[in-house]
């Protein structure tokens, strides 16, 4: 005989599985964008010799922006505005 506790546990596990599915479904495009953006940054460094400091902020920008985000990061590194390797960061 099925008890109320077993039904509640089954519904809880079902809710957790569906929640995890929706989270993975929502995050997957950002993961692909981050991978493509980082590959573009590495290719630009190998082919053109432009160095970009890979920081969590860079990964976040390319994850949200994809290829245009990677181009923006490269442009900012070339202009030495941000993401320059070896730059000293001053915290105010």
| pLDDT score recorded for residue 91 | 58
pTM: 0.70
| pLDDT score recorded for residue 16 | 95
| pLDDT score recorded for residue 81 | 86
| pLDDT score recorded for residue 53 | 87
User: What residues of the chain score a pLDDT lower than 50?
Assistant: none
| pLDDT score recorded for residue 85 | 79
| pLDDT score recorded for residue 14 | 96
| pLDDT score recorded for residue 46 | 92
| pLDDT score recorded for residue 10 | 93
| pLDDT score recorded for residue 21 | 94
Q: Is 19 exposed, middle or buried (0-12, 13-18, 19+ CB in 10 A)?
A: exposed
| Closest to 75 (Cα-Cα) out of 44, 33, 30, 34 | 44
| pLDDT score recorded for residue 82 | 83
């Amino acid at each position: 005989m099925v008890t109320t506790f077993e039904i509640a546990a089954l519904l809880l596990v079902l809710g957790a599985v569906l929640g995890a599915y929706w989270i993975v479904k929502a995050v997957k495009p950002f993961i692909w964008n981050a991978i493509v953006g980082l590959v573009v940054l590495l290719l630009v460094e190998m082919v053109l010799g432009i160095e970009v400091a890979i920081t969590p902020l860079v990964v976040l920008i390319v994850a949200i922006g994809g290829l245009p985000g990677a181009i923006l990061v490269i442009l900012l590194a070339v202009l030495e505005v941000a993401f320059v390797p070896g730059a000293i960061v001053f915290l105010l």
